[in-house]
Homo-oligomer: A and B are copies of this chain.
Amino acid sequence: MVAEFIFVGTELLLGNIVNTNGAYLARECAALGLSCYYQTVVGDNAGRLEAVLTQAMGRSDVVILSGGLGPTEDDLTKETAAKVCGRAMYLHEPSREMLKRFFALRGLELTENNWKQAMMPEGAIVLENENGTAPGVILETEKAKIILLPGPPNELCPLFEEKVAPYLAGLTEQVIYSRTVKLCGVGESKAETLIKDLIDAQTNPTLATYAKTGEVHIRLTASAPDQKSAEKLLEPLLGELERRFGKAVYAVREEITLEQAVVELLDRQGWTLTCAESCTGGLLSGRLVNVPGVSQVYREGFVTYSNKAKRKLLGVKKGTLKKYGAVSAETAEEMANGAARAAKADAAIAVTGVAGPGGGTEEKPVGLVYIGCCVNGKTTVKKYRFSGNRSKIRESAVSAALTLLRSCVMRQAGEV
């Protein structure tokens, strides 16, 4: 079955917003086993939208449109789709009631044009939208199924997952089931080489690798008559990936983030963590604190950008800074040890480096970063050389710090 997408909105044509719905719908539909050959962006213009929709209906079985379901004159996706399908519009009572409730709950006043959002094409399947005022719409025609969704991602994504995905799955009578295996500390090309035979031999399940900053994700997708059979198909491959990548795998049966994996690992040991950050300047702590419930593990951290702060807050020795410099293995080690001591934490991770654009020398170029990790009094220091701009170098350092921390904690905890 072939699906295609039409994104409606002049703001997309002007580049005011990035079309993240494109990648989202593409991923979701691919996971459902649909083939997609075209995506089109078109403005809030009835004539051009009609032409694009008519063309899409001639070459695809499912056409998903997003955007243009708002209350203003500019919003004409629903009206245009109704016209193309030869359907009249009528006032859909349940949508009218929902609109009323939506506004009442928020103490807002309904204006005349809001009722437009309760008008529906005859025979449409209306999808209630809990996160906004524009319901989704499915129009079944002989040529194609047409699915209209609101443009804002926080409305489109839940509507798709809760209502459209089951509808599409019902059309194919197959369940598509995905799992993502996440790796840290291994590059994408190495990861691909290690599973080239699996990629070449793939049929069902399929697998694909995605490179992230400091990480590689491998998505496995199986197609089967029901979820249980799909899971059964995935199981051997999940086990095989775990065997091949060993401790580089940080998420396999749950979709957690790297910082979540690290926090959970520490939490299992009952260990606490602190950070001492120079070039990352708080980003590493900031990422750890994005884990809900991190307070069990993380209580305090230090941003020590100046040499003086490294001495005062972490007890780094003046002589060390003078002899080796702030960006050195020796300083990284003393930062980690000092942070653990100052915060009375079981584990401490310290980052110091040259993030650029200025400040690089031949001996210590932009991108040079040292990361020190102290776990239960045992300290490991690693040297890194990252590339990219200031922001990219700092992000890479954060990923590398989480990876090193995870491996040191696993070693100390005997979880290797």
Contact = CB atoms under 8 A, between A and B. Distances in A.
B302 A300 contact: yes
27 contacts: A12-B22, A12-B26, A13-B37, A14-B30, A15-B24, A15-B28, A18-B19, A18-B22, A22-B22, A37-B48, A38-B40, A38-B48, A275-B282, A281-B282, A281-B301, A283-B289, A285-B286, A285-B303, A286-B394, A292-B358, A299-B308, A300-B303, A300-B305, A300-B306, A300-B309, A301-B302, A302-B303
User: Interface residues of A toward B: which range?
Assistant: 35 or more
A290 B302 CA distance: 17
Contact of A390 (B39, B280, B292, B357): B292
Interface in A14-66: 14-20, 22-30, 36-43, 45, 48, 52
A257 to B, nearest CB: 11
A68 to B, nearest CB: 15
B303 A289 contact: yes
Contacts of A17: 23
A270 to B, nearest CB: 16
Given A39-B41, A48-B38, A306-B300, A285 B281 contact: yes
How many subunits of this chain does the assembly comprise?
A: 2
Interface of A: 12-20, 22-30, 36-43, 45, 48, 52, 208, 210, 275, 277, 279-286, 288-290, 292-295, 298-306, 308-309, 312-313, 343, 356-358, 390-391, 394
Given A280-B289, A289-B280, A295-B305, A14 B38 contact: no
Given A12-B26, A277-B282, A282-B282, 18 more contacts: A13-B37, A13-B38, A14-B36, A15-B30, A18-B20, A19-B19, A40-B40, A277-B285, A282-B283, A282-B284, A282-B285, A282-B289, A282-B301, A283-B289, A299-B306, A300-B302, A300-B304, A300-B309
A356 B292 CA distance: 7
Contacts of A23: 12, 15-19
Contacts of A26: 12-15
A328 to B, nearest CB: 17
A267 B299 CA distance: 31
A209 to B, nearest CB: 9
Contact of A12 (B39, B306, B358): B39
A308 B295 CA distance: 11
Nearest to A310: B300
Given A15-B22, A282-B277, A288-B281, A299 B295 contact: no
Contacts of A37: 13, 42-43, 45, 48
A188 B25 CA distance: 28
